[in-house]
Amino acid sequence: MRIAILGGDGFVGWPTCLHLSAQGHEVHILDNLSRRWIDTELGVQSLTPMDSIQERSRIWKEVTGETIRFHLIDLSREYERLRQWLADHRPDAIVHFAEQRAAPYSMKSDRHKVYTVNNNVNATHNLLAAMVEAGLDAHLVHLGTMGVYGYSSVGAPIPEGYLDVQIDTPSGPRTQEILYPTRPGSVYHMTKSLDQILFQFYAQNDGLRITDLHQGIVWGTHTDQTRRHEQLINRFDYDGDYGTVLNRFLIQAAIDYPLTVHGTGGQTRAFIHIQDSVRCIELALRDAPARGDRVKIFNQMTETHRVRDLAQLVAKLTGAQVKFLPNPRKEADENDLIVKNDQFLALGLEPTTLAEGLLSEVVDVARKFAHRIDRTRVPAVSAWTRDIARRVERDPEGKALKSVS
């Protein structure tokens, strides 16, 4: 297949490109490289030394003989170029990672909120409008997030996108299937909730074939392909905005930094290893909906864990300390989370769950590049509201928290 990978220079995008290229697909990356620009803005860098996308692609060609093509296009601002590219190249499938993906970054300031909504909504909508205009019947696979469900459980396992509900009508109760009522917890997560409505409309009005993957928190760094050459290494974020929870614990352990748990650490989250993430995208691509079908939604995760349990696990493995800090997010202290992922299991996914070996691999990578870490950038400082920001500022060490717990 000819596959366009939007945002193919990113953390999951790049290993996806390699995975699909290794399987013989013709891979085209469309990316505005905004993630590299944000590194510059924030004054941080990937823990791993990451080459330019052009250089990475050259190495891939050298190692495998396969070509990955790169096209510098800004989906949210260059509608006409996007449409023309789609009309010219007519990909069979499109994998869409091209959105600002960090919740803390999206809550950093009003400017970051405005950027995230503008960038993400326009990128997705431009893509949909361009597909229709180009008369393209490509299968669109979009990376969503488990965060669209919210974490105030209805008391039942979270289904894959759709929920059966009973509604009282004058002629008696009636069962109906609805999109799971969304309850996003940050501006970033909200944009993925908006995407769902865009997809629903374009599937219904224009018959676009769309799969939406509600992904959990990705951990790990290597995949089978990124291991093949040191210059194929994946990006690896450790800073308070882009670093995600399990990977951050592993990095903190590697540099003798206490594992920073926010609040009580009672938040339960869904996780997936990056190797499984790229495998899921392969499986989703094979299982395309038919024209006229509703949007297909998968939960792309393999296990759930409570944050403080993960901290304890990593502490036990590495000897690191655990430190409880005030939570900069507005969220419930504790939540349960049971998630269905039957569809990917049925398609043949064999989950890579938390194993000491894989955890150690991440710590090893972090130790190797520990000299590149700016320890001052490790704390997560983006607060969800001004009140929370003031509270964190008054008590950065979480002393009040400790006296309570």
Q: Which residues bind a copy of itself (CB under 8 A)?
A: 79, 83, 110, 113-114, 117-118, 121-122, 125-126, 129-130, 132-133, 135, 154-156, 163-171, 173-174, 176, 178-179, 181-185, 187, 190, 193-194, 197-198, 200-201, 205-206, 330, 384-386
- Of 25 and 83, nearer to a copy of itself (C-beta) is 83
Q: Can you tell me whether residue 96 is helix, strand or coil?
A: strand
Phi, psi values for residue 83, rounded to 5°: -60, -45
Q: How far is the CB of 257 from a copy of itself (least distance, A)?
A: 29
DSSP β-ladder status, 68-72 and 303-306: unpaired
- The token pair at 234 is 């994946």
- Sheet strands (E) in 7-150: 26-31, 68-72, 93-96, 139-145
Of 155 and 319, CB closest to a copy of itself: 155
Closest distance of CB 237 from a copy of itself, Å: 24
Cα distance between residue 212 and residue 162, in whole Å? 12
- Nearest approach, Cβ of residue 336 and a copy of itself (Å): 12
Nearer to a copy of itself, 162 or 361 (CB): 162
202 is catalytic: no
Residue with Cβ nearer a copy of itself (112 or 296): 112
Q: Which of 117/283 has CB closer to a copy of itself?
A: 117
**Rounded to whole angstroms, how far apart are CA atoms 145 and 128?**
19
The one catalytic residue among 115, 116, 151, 192 = 192
Task: Give the active site residue among 115, 180, 188, 242.
Answer: 188
Task: Quote the CA–CA distance of 259 and 241 in Å, as a whole number.
Answer: 16
- Least distance to a copy of itself, CB of residue 118, Å: 6
Shortest CB 328 distance to a copy of itself, Å: 13
Task: Tell me if 313 sits within 8 A of 31, measured CB to CB.
Answer: no
Nearest alpha carbon to residue 213 among 283, 150, 163:
283
Q: Let me know if 221 is a catalytic residue.
A: no
DSSP 8-state secondary structure symbol assigned to residue 366: H
For the CB of residue 384, give the shortest distance to a copy of itself in the complex, in Å.
Answer: 6
For 398, which DSSP code? -
Smaller CB distance to a copy of itself: residue 19 or 125? 125
In degrees and rounded to multiples of 5, residue 299 shows phi and psi of -90, 115
Place of tokens 């710590």: 363
Give the Cα separation of 351 and 362 in Å (integer). 18
**Catalytic status, residue 238:** no
Residue 171 burial (CB < 10 Å; 0-12/13-18/19+)?
A: exposed
Instruction: Give catalytic residue positions.
Output: 145, 188, 192
